[in-house]
Each structure stands twice: as C-alpha cells, then as structure tokens.
Amino acid sequence: MTVRSANRRLITRLLLAAVLMFGFGFALVPLYDVFCRVTGLNGKITNTGPVEQTGVDTQRLVKVRMIGVNNEGMPWQFGPIDSLVEVNPGEMRQTAFQASNPTGRSMVAQAIPSVAPGEAAQYLHKVNCFCFNSQTLAAGESVDMPLLFVIDKELPEHIRSITLSYTLFDISPDKTASRSEEVQMGGSRI
Amino acid sequence: MAISDTTGGMDTTAGELHEEHHHGPAKGIGRWLFTTNHKDIGSLYLWFSLLMFLTGGVMALLIRAELFQPGLQLVEPGFFNQMTTMHGLIMVFGAVMPAFVGLANWMIPMMIGAPDMALPRMNNWSFWILPFAFAMLVSTLFMDGGAPNFGWTFYAPLSTTYAPPSVTYFIFAIHIMGASSIMGAINIIATILNMRAPGMTMMKLPLFVWSWLITAFLLIAVMPVLAGVVTMMLMDIHFGTSFFNAAGGGDPVLFQHVFWFFGHPEVYIMILPAFGIISQIIPTFSRKKLFGYASMVYATASIAILSFLVWAHHMFTVGLPLVGELFFMFATMLIAVPTGVKVFNWVATMFRGSLTFETPMLFAIAFVVLFTIGGFSGLMLAIAPVDFQYHDTYFVVAHFHYVLVPGAIFSIMAAVYYWLPKWTGHQLNETMGKLHFWLSFVGVNITFFPMHFIGLAGMPRRIPDYALQFADFNMVASIGAFIFGFSQLLFVWNVIQNVRSGEKATSQVWEGAEGLEWTVDSPAPYHTFSTPPKVD
Amino acid sequence: MGMIRIISRSFPLTLLPLTARAEWTLNLSPGVTEISRSIYDLHMTIFWICVAIGCVVFGIMFWSIFHHRKSRGAKAHHFHEHTLVEVIWTLIPLGILVAMAVPATATLVKMYDPKDAGLDVQVTGYQWKWRYQYLDQDLDFFSNLATPREQVSNEQAKSENYLLEVDRHLVLPTDTKIRFLLTANDVIHSWWVPALAVKKDAIPGFINEAWTQIDEPGIYRGQCAELCGKDHGFMPIVVEAVPPEEFQQWLADAKAEKAAAAEAANRSWTLDELMQRGEQVYLSSCAACHQASGEGLPPAFPALKNSPIAVGDVGAHIDIVLNGKSGTAMQAFRDQLDPVELAAVITYERNAWGNSTGEAVSPTQIADRLGAAAEGEGN
Amino acid sequence: MSHILKRWWRTLLGVLAGFLGVQSERRRQEDFKEGRAIHFVVVGLLMAAVFVIFVIFLVRWALSLSGA
C-alpha cells in the first residue's frame, strides 16, 4: 500500500471520527435527559400523567414548599396559595398557584418547574399541572392554576422536605417580535 | 539510537509527494501564502502564536492595571469583562494551541525522518484559516455592544439570551479555530503513522512525538464537541431552539456539562505536548536517558481516555446531587495521581545525571517546579467540599495560570530556545536567554503566587474592582504582571537576534542531544530527509 | 461607538489614598459554622500534605541539581528504569489521597443534609442585586450595593467595607438551621459567604438548596461568585447573624417598618421631598445601568435624559418602571420598591438632568395602580 | 484458542499498567511487538467503563457507610 492511499484511508477515518464526535455533542442532550431522569441531576420532574393509587403511608409526613418565581421582565403577580403543604407519601393532593396580569396587554407565560433536592424529583408525581401548558392572561385578568400531585411512597427516608418551584417566563409573541426587531436594528438588549 | 544515512531507503516513504519540490523556498509573500513546506508552516504558526501571545498579554496587562488599586481607574466593568473573555480565548486558542502545532510542524517530520507532513496542502489551509478566525474575533471589540463579555467559558444564558450581538462572530470564529485544529490533528496523526523512516518504529518515537500523537487524537475527539456546543448556542440565539433556555424546557446547566466535556480534555491538549517537550529537554541536559519512557507513554495514552470521565469537577457548586459530587471527586483523585507522579520521572532523570543549565534546561526545571505547584492546587481543588470555598475565586485563577503560564508557556519557550539553533543555524545567546528566563521566572511567581492568597481570602474571579483587604496582593500581582509582560519583549528580541545573527551552530547543537533532528545541518535545509534515513 | 471607554476621571497615581485599610489575610477563614470549620481542616490537611510531598520531591531535585552538575565533574549514570520504585511512588500518593477522601466524603454528606431546618430563606439573584424572601414570614426585600459610586470612581475616600456593604442586611438567627432556596431571575449567579462556607449557584428556572447554622453573632460578608454580566463585582452579600430572640424582634420591627412605609404612601409629598428621595433610590436601583448622569450606556442601556419615556406620557413611564420592558434588561420594579420609592424615582427621572416636566408623581397614584392590580387577583 | 486468550490478557495487563501509569520497558517491547493498537483501544474503552462502574460502587459504598 502506498503512503498516499494509506493517508487517504486514515483521513477518511479520522474525519468520520470528527463528524461522529460532532454528532455525539448533540447526542449529549438526550443522553443528559436520560441521565437526569436516572439520577435526578437537575431536579426536573419527569413523572406526569395519571397515577395508580396504592395506599397512603401515614407514618411519614413530608413538607412540600411551594415557590413561585418571576423570571426577568415578567410583571405578573404569581405565587402559591399555600406556601407550605404537608402531605403523606401516596396521598393525592390538590393545590394551586395564583397568577394575575397587571399590565395593560394580553400576555402568555410558561411555568417551568424545578425540584430541590434533585433526588426527590423522581418521586414527585404530577397528575395534573398548569405547567403542562402555557397560560394566556388578558390585561388585568387573574386565574387560579391547579396542581394535583402525589409523592411516591418510595421516597427515601432521609428526604423530609421537598421544594417545588415554578419559574414564570414571558413567552408572549410580541415579546419575541420586539426582540428580533432589536437584533435587526443591530442593537443589543435595551 | 544509531543512525546511518543510506541512499537506497526509498522503499516506503513518500518520495512521490515531493517530485515538484527539489528546490529552495519561493521568493516574496507568495512563499508564505502558498507554502506547503512543513518548516515554513511551522514558522508561520509560531510567529502567529507569538503575535497572539503579545495581544492576549496586552489585554492581561490592561486587566492587571485596572486591578492595581481598588476603584475603577482605567476601564469600565463592561469592557473589563470583554478583556477577561478575549484574554482567555486568545491565549488558549490563539497562543498555546497554535504554538504547539507550530512546534509539531517543525519538529515531528524531522524527528521521525519524514520529508514533510503527510498532507502538505491541508497543512497550508489549516494555518491560513486561523488569522481569519482571530481577525473576526478581535474585530468584535469594535462592534456595537462590544466584544464577547461572558468569560472564555461562555456559560449560558449569559452567552445566549444576554449576549452582545457580536456573539455570532464569536461562534463562527470558534468554528473556524475548531476546523483548523481538527485538520492540524489529522495531519499530525497521518504523519506519525504513515511517514516514519524505515526502522523508526513506534517504540522508538521520541516522547514529544508520542505526546503529540495522543494530543491529536484528543483534539479530534473534543473539538467537534466544542463546535457542537457553539452550534447549539447559535441555534438558541437565532433559530428559537431551547437547548440552554429554561423557558423552552432547556437547561443552562446542560451547557456547562457539554462545555466541560470538551473543556477537561482541552486542559490535557494544552499540557501533554508540554510533557513531551520537557521529556526531550531534561534528558539532553542531564546527558542521560529519560527515566521510565515506557511508563510515560502508557500514562499519557491512558489520560486520553480517562480525561473524559472527570469533567464535572469544574462544576461542583451548580447543585449536582451528592452521588454526582462523590463520583467526580473520587474519579478525579484516582486519575490525578498516575499523571501527577510523572514529575517524579523527570526528577529521577536528573538524578545522577551530568547536569548543565543552558536556557532551555532552566525553563524546563522551572516548568517541573511550577507546574507541580499548579498540580498541588489542582489536587486541593479536587476535594469537593473544599472546592465550595475555592470555586470561582482567585485561587482557581492562580491554579490554572500556574499550569498554563509556567506550564504550557514555559515549555513552549523552552522548546523554542532548544530548537532555535536548529532552525536558524545560530547558537543561542545564553546571556540574553538567561536574563529572559530569570525575569520571567521572577515575574510569573510575583504575579500568580499572591493570587492564591487573595483567592483564599475571598476574592471572586472576573471582578474589575475589589474590597480593600485584597488591595496589597493585587498590587503585588500587578507589578509582577508588568515585569513578566515586559520581559517577554526580551524573548522577541532574542528570537529576532538569533534569526539575524549569531555564532554558527553545529548540527548537534547541544552536547547531550540525541535524535534524528540533530543529525541534519543547522540551519536545517529547506528539505530534510528527502531520502529517508535508516534507523536501527 | 463605545468600543473602549476610558474613564477620564481622577486616576490617583499615588499609592496611598486608601484611607481605610482592612486587614489582609493569607488563608481561608475557618468561618463560624461547623461545616466551615471542617472545610478549613480539610484545606489545611491537604495543604500540608502538598507541602510535604513538595519538600521531598523538590528536595531531591535540588540536591541533584547541586551535586550532579557537570561542572562538578558529575558523570551520568545510565539507569533509566525501575518499575518497583515507580509503582511505590505512585501508590504512596494514591494512598494519601484515599485517606483524604474519607473525611472529605463525611463533610460533603453533612453539607447535603438540609433536614429539619428552622427557617427557609429564598435567595434570588438579579442583575445585580440579591432578593431575600423569608418564607412563612411575609417579609421580602432587595439588597443593593450601598457603596456610593463616588467611592468606586475614586472621587471619595473608600470606606472600610468598600464594595462589601449593602443597604439591607440579610438578618439571620444564630444556632438555628437555616435552609436557603436559591434561584435567579436572569442569568446564573452564585451566592457565596466565605465565613459560612456556603457557595451555591443560583440558576434561572431551577431551584438549588443549601443550608447553614451560624454559631456566633456577627456580620459576614460575601460576593456573587459567578460571572453575571457588567456589575458582577458589585453585588455583595451581607449576612448579619443575631441571637434568636433578637431575630424575632428584628422580624417584628421589619414588618412594622413595612406597614409604616405603606402608611407614608397615603400622605402628600412635595416635589422637593420626592426629588430628594428619588435621587437616593435612583442611585441605588437605576444608576448601575442608566448611569448617575442619566445618559445610560447605549445601546444596552438607553439614556433617560431627554428620553421619550421620561419626558413623555407619565402613564407609560409608570408602566415601564412598574412592569419592566419585556425582552430587555429593564426589570419590573413593582416588587422591588415601595410606592413612595417608586413615585419618588419616577418624579426624579422626570425632573433631573434637564428633564423639566415639573410633574410630581404622588405615592397614592402608584399605590392605586398597584392596588387595582392586586384587587384584580380576585382573591 | 489459548493463544488468543493470552493475547487479550496481555492487552488487558498493558491497559491496566497505563491506568496506573507505570510500565516496564520489557513489557512495553512485548506489547508493541505482539499487541495490536486496536486491541488496546477496545480494551482501554472497556476498562474505562469498568473504571466508571468501580467508582459508582465506591460512591454507593461510601454513602452506605456514612448513612446517607
């Protein structure tokens, strides 16, 4: 085999390796999700939808701290009805967050949930949550947004307190429009 | 290693690639633009990296000048952040990496008895796209909204949703640099695997070549990941995806995972060639073979794999679960030792040798001592609970500057002084070389050692102004930085003087030097080993 | 434009105008919590281990540099391998590190155990200030840098706690386990108080937890530890630890103060009063972006001087201050400031730097706007 | 058969030596004469996976000891 053809073969393989690694970079995104689901790395809740009731563990009482956070530039008034909910593992519990839009325009928001400690995320099962969908509120409108959840009985003993936070992001269409306009004008964030 | 120049050794190597090249260099600018000669391209890389080193250095001095005293004196906070970001990017991607590629271009073919790099034309491209990448990066300084200001680690969402418009140019610059590095790495691998002179088996490769072979594989593995992460940023910024944007279901912490998946091997990319260089220089001036060559090769090779398993030790404070913290702490500790003890091999090489202390050796010894100090602080940083106090303080700044300045940069300077007589044909001016060394050595320590103290005392990284209890050591560090910075002008002067004049160098140059590169004339002819040497 | 802004103001060339000189330290602070002390112990242990290894390695190296130099007639010996020695010098450090891992793991496990906290405090990072919410206590405030800008620009002598002082301290009880719930409003911040050995990233959209139990009353200062934009260096943290009884008293006082502020909104304010108050509020809450001169830092931060908002329709001006401007760095200040402060700062912006509208916005006007929205919530 | 096994065994030993960072010149000569690069890469990747699993067990063990 001549050096030239050996080189060509090697280049092909190495370029292929580079392309594969580029793909692998993107594959890290779903891999990370899987990894998070297994380890609760980032406190994302992955258990949603209907749940089978298998009895309540009345021996334990878990404190669930509810938090509402507004992300930058979000003027809604937003917070839980009950800041602290005490619940037995296995018990289905209904609570709600309140939101009102004090501005003079209609806005769309998306609530993003997060759980601390992250380890608890896989044991917090949300049957129904306002965070499944985006919320639209007209000017001055307000709404109670329900949340139905169960804490799995398998929750490790050492976790006695769970924090469930919702961060409200403004995803109103006019917001995106105004931002891209700014980009076109060459200006940055004003 | 016995070497005999045989004339009939054209059996396997690439004489065919060079039919058109049996003449000297072309004249004028065209020589440099269109050159496919590994020595020319090596020189281009080295000059380019020197230019970038000085540019990044000016930025560092601006940073240190601002930090000379508490209060804002010279620049505004926004511009300060642009400086820290550009300094980091330029030093990592513009100074250290191209310098190593330049050394590889010059030396690898000569060390393995090859007439040139395996892919000379690609070699030309991989250099010439670099100036464009950096021109684009530096031009962002003059754009509306300023240059990237989110740190060289560019954490989202500061670098996406909250970035200045110039971030797009930054992303393209990173893409080009990545392409250049990947092409360079492919070329180096092909050269080492396919172009060795007959008899130059893998077992006989000099350690510099070995370390570069492994580094090149690392580059091919991680530069595409970096390209991937900046592409995701680009899509988040312009195409409405949500890789790192929590509002759309993304995760800013994911950015850090992907970045450090690239970033940790990148650390080794910047230090393995340095290991190689030091492993060439210390034996030469100890007049003794490297102690534990086999161990060095094996350890370096295993780093290539294991360095992928410890990335999250850069992110102990992001809120990893306990299991994650422990995993990355244990893994880091276990991996650190086998690599760290390579320092012992260099010491053992010097032990019972016959030592002389020419300029390259001085830089190499300083490397061993100061790199080890950087290694020690690295060990301290590996302990997760303590890292909660060290993380993102000047202690970390001290740590990685000890690894990169008296580590990577000193090794590059050692290499330049070591091989310069071979390149120019002129003996080194030892007096000037030593003056440069001592000023640099003193300057580096005055600059970076106090940073350990201010970090432990509680000063965060990347701040343009600080509380009064940090004032004294910041002043000391700034003075050191100016000593170090200006002493590099001596380096420039030394190199230029050596190119222009000097005592005629012999082909062996250094008394204890061994290896193929020392069998050719000094200066090395434009084409070396057109006829492969025979290595027994 | 605005490529390199050189501050042309005073550049003190003398080395001495630091009137206050805090004591400098070389080492980590042992801190005031059990965790911070065990971290300090770990730090010192690993430090001395490194020193010991360093002494041995560099000792041998310098010994051989001295004795095995060619100028002293040293001849090179030709050994270049000894596997057993290499194995030994690898295993010894490995053993030491494994020994270190044991206490490190124990400390880490403790740090990750926020069980049975007596007080929950939500910490939210903003560009560039911190917000503290005492959950269950109905107390919520922002903590801004208190160092005057003149000190930063060297027009005034620097105070003792330069850049480490805030307008409102985070007051915490001693001998109580306190849990922090950390998040951020915009970019990633990191809440760090060295004396408590708490450093945790505050990430937008995510919640992190950390805890502390302070043993000694005192004032402990820290800073944001994660690059978060222009004023990353200007968002300090001040924790004031007081005995539990005193903490209860402080809570009661703080709530009373809040009620009094609401009361103050009902009385009438003159233009001068509002301007005076407004200037203070402006400097602590607005000047970081819009600059004390009102000229901003365009394009990122627009000027207010002669701006259409500040001299135009007052309703629009109130709206943007209360609700922020979506898609920009302009925050909603409705929760950050009370009605008096809001009215004062809007009045100030409409009458400072030659913006002579002569209009005064009254606190009641603001309170009505806020109240209307609150009623709209439908309870 | 036993010859192949022996070769893989030698490769495995080589990789482990790499992870420890120590190898003797004699062994290295043997590895380079008889071994094949691709074998070392494959075994190296496998052993990296084994290393990960080993550390995971180490973590679990440490946690069970510390009672968390």
- Give me the residues of B, 213-232, that contact A with CB < 8 A: 220-229, 231-232
Q: Decide if A153 contacts A172 (C-beta within 8 A).
A: no
What is the number of domains present in chain B? Answer: 1
CB contact under 8 A, D44 and B305: yes
Gap from B307 CA to chain D (nearest CA, Å): 10
Rounded Cα distance, C344 and C321, in Å = 12
- A72 located within any domain: yes
- A188 located within any domain: no
- Is the pLDDT score of C10 beyond 70? no
Residue numbers in D near B298 (CB within 8 A)? 14, 17-18, 21-23, 28
Rounded Cα distance, B357 and B362, in Å = 6
- Is the pLDDT score of B207 beyond 80? yes
Q: How confident is the model at residue A104 (pLDDT cuts 50, 70, 90)?
A: confident
Regarding whether A25 and A69 lie in a shared domain, the answer is no
B491-497 long-range CB contacts below 8 Å, 24 or more apart? B491/B413, B491/B436, B491/B440, B492/B50, B492/B54, B493/B432, B494/B417, B494/B428, B494/B429, B494/B432, B494/B433, B494/B436, B495/B50, B495/B416, B495/B420, B497/B429, B497/B432
Element counts in chain B: helices (H) and strands (E): 17, 2
Pick C24's closest partner by Cβ from B73, B373, B457.
B457
The better pLDDT of the pair D66, C195 is held by: C195
Residue numbers in C near B157 (CB within 8 A)? 186-188, 204
* pLDDT score for A53: 67
**Residue A165 in tokens:** 């936070």
b vs e for B121-153, b when ≥16 Cβ sit within 10 Å of the residue's Cβ?
Answer: ebbbebbbebeebbebbbebbebbbbbbbbbbb
Those residues with Cβ within 8 angstroms of residue B498's Cβ, 6 or more apart along the chain or in another chain? B420, B421, B424, B426, B428, B429
Residue B122 sits in which domain range? 3-535
Those residues with Cβ within 8 angstroms of residue B51's Cβ, 6 or more apart along the chain or in another chain? none
For chain A, report the end-to-end CA distance as a whole number of angstroms: 63
- Is the pLDDT score of B535 beyond 90? no
**Residue C213 in tokens:** 């139990």
- A154 located within any domain: yes
- Is the pLDDT score of D62 beyond 60? yes
* A73 contacts chain B (CB < 8 A): no
Mean of the per-residue pLDDT values of chain D: 85
CA atoms within 13 A of residue A133's CA, in its CB half-sphere: 8
For B328-374, the pLDDT digits (tens) are: 999 999 888 877 778 999 999 999 999 999 999 999 999 999 999 99
- Is the pLDDT score of C14 beyond 50? no
Regarding whether A165 and A75 lie in a shared domain, the answer is yes
Regarding whether A135 and A69 lie in a shared domain, the answer is yes
Residue from C42, C111, C226, C326 to probe the interface with B (highest B Cβ count within 10 Å)? C226
Tell me what percent of the residues of chain B surpass a pLDDT of 70.
96
Concerning whether B279 is annotated as a catalytic residue, the answer is yes
Q: How confident is the model at residue C2 (pLDDT cuts 50, 70, 90)?
A: very low
Q: How confident is the model at residue B23 (pLDDT cuts 50, 70, 90)?
A: low
For C119-152, the pLDDT digits (tens) are: 999 999 998 899 999 988 888 899 999 998 889 9
Q: How confident is the model at residue B450 (pLDDT cuts 50, 70, 90)?
A: very high
E strands of chain C, at which residues? Answer: 119-126, 129-134, 139-143, 170-173, 177-184, 189-193, 198-202, 208-213, 218-224, 237-242
CB contact under 8 A, D23 and B297: yes
DSSP string of C243-285, one letter each residue: -HHHHHHHHHHHHHHHHHHHHHTTS---HHHHHHHHHHHHHHH
* pLDDT score for B20: 45
Concerning whether B342 is annotated as a catalytic residue, the answer is yes
The domain C119-254 belongs to what CATH superfamily?
A: Cupredoxins -  blue copper proteins (2.60.40.420)
Residue A28 sits in which domain range? 1-39
- A91 located within any domain: yes
Task: Give mean pLDDT, residues B264-293.
Answer: 94
- The CATH architecture assigned to C265-376 reads Orthogonal Bundle (1.10)
Regarding whether A35 and A72 lie in a shared domain, the answer is no
Domain residue extents for chain C? 27-61+84-113, 119-254, 265-376
* Dihedral Cα C11, C12, C15, C18, nearest 10 deg: -110
Domain residue extents for chain D? 2-66
Task: Give mean pLDDT, residues B50-67.
Answer: 96
Pick B327's closest partner by Cβ from D29, D48, D59.
D59
Concerning whether B311 is annotated as a catalytic residue, the answer is no
* pLDDT score for B490: 95
Encoded amino acid at B459, one letter: M
Gap from C377 CA to chain A (nearest CA, Å): 5
* pLDDT score for B4: 38
Rounded Cα distance, C319 and C339, in Å = 13
Mean of the per-residue pLDDT values of chain B: 91
**In CATH, what number is assigned to the domain containing residue B422?**
1.20.210.10
Q: Which chains have 3+ CB pairs within 8 A of B? A: A, C, D
* pLDDT score for C265: 75
- Is the pLDDT score of C8 beyond 50? no
For C305-362, the pLDDT digits (tens) are: 888 888 888 888 888 888 887 667 788 888 788 888 888 888 888 888 888 788 888 8
Concerning whether B22 is annotated as a catalytic residue, the answer is no
* pLDDT score for A44: 67
Regarding whether A67 and A30 lie in a shared domain, the answer is no
Tell me what percent of the residues of chain C surpass a pLDDT of 70.
91
Q: How confident is the model at residue A106 (pLDDT cuts 50, 70, 90)?
A: confident
* pLDDT score for A174: 65
* pLDDT score for B206: 94
* pLDDT score for B87: 96
CB contact under 8 A, A118 and B185: no
* Dihedral Cα C238, C243, C246, C248, nearest 10 deg: 90
How many other CB atoms are found less than 10 A from the CB of residue B8? 8
Concerning whether B346 is annotated as a catalytic residue, the answer is no
CB contact under 8 A, D15 and B302: yes
**Cα A144 to chain center, whole Å?**
20
* pLDDT score for C329: 74
* pLDDT score for C228: 93
For C57-113, the pLDDT digits (tens) are: 999 999 999 999 998 888 888 888 888 988 998 898 888 888 899 999 999 999 998
For C208-228, the pLDDT digits (tens) are: 999 999 999 999 999 999 999
Regarding whether A71 and A5 lie in a shared domain, the answer is no
**In CATH, what number is assigned to the domain containing residue A131?**
2.60.370.10
The better pLDDT of the pair B491, A141 is held by: B491
Q: Per the residue annotation, which of B159, B160, B191, B279 is the catalytic one? A: B279
Rounded Cα distance, C168 and A6, in Å = 71
**Cα A132 to chain center, whole Å?**
10
Concerning whether B390 is annotated as a catalytic residue, the answer is no
Q: How confident is the model at residue B439 (pLDDT cuts 50, 70, 90)?
A: very high
b vs e for C235-246, b when ≥16 Cβ sit within 10 Å of the residue's Cβ?
Answer: bbbbbbbbeeee
3-state secondary structure of C192: strand
* Dihedral Cα C354, C357, C361, C365, nearest 10 deg: -150
How many other CB atoms are found less than 10 A from the CB of residue A36? 22
Concerning whether B166 is annotated as a catalytic residue, the answer is no
Residue numbers in A near B198 (CB within 8 A)? none
Helix (H) / strand (E) containing B372? helix B359-382
Concerning whether B181 is annotated as a catalytic residue, the answer is yes
- What is the model's pTM? 0.89
CB contact under 8 A, B298 and D56: no
Q: How confident is the model at residue B309 (pLDDT cuts 50, 70, 90)?
A: very high
Task: Give mean pLDDT, residues B130-145.
Answer: 93
* pLDDT score for B18: 44
3-state secondary structure of C97: helix
For A136-147, the pLDDT digits (tens) are: 888 888 888 888
Question: Chain C residue with minimal CA distance to D60?
Answer: C105
* pLDDT score for B476: 95
- Is the pLDDT score of D1 beyond 70? no
Rounded Cα distance, B467 and C20, in Å = 10
Q: Where are the alpha helices (DSSP H) in A63-128?
A: none
Residue numbers in B near C223 (CB within 8 A)? 458, 460, 463
Task: Give mean pLDDT, residues A34-39.
Answer: 74
Q: How confident is the model at residue B1 (pLDDT cuts 50, 70, 90)?
A: very low
How far is residue C210 from each of residues B371, C197, C199, C241, measured CA to CA in Å?
A: 35, 10, 8, 17
Rounded Cα distance, C240 and B16, in Å = 78
Regarding whether A110 and A147 lie in a shared domain, the answer is yes
Concerning whether B11 is annotated as a catalytic residue, the answer is no
Question: Chain C residue with minimal CA distance to D19?
Answer: C90
- Is the pLDDT score of B12 beyond 80? no
Gap from D7 CA to chain B (nearest CA, Å): 18
Residue numbers in A near B269 (CB within 8 A)? none
- A113 located within any domain: yes
How far is residue A100 from each of residues A74, A168, A174, C369, C378, measured CA to CA in Å?
A: 11, 12, 19, 14, 9
Regarding whether A148 and A83 lie in a shared domain, the answer is yes
What is the number of domains present in chain A? Answer: 2
* pLDDT score for D21: 85
Task: Give mean pLDDT, residues B86-110.
Answer: 96
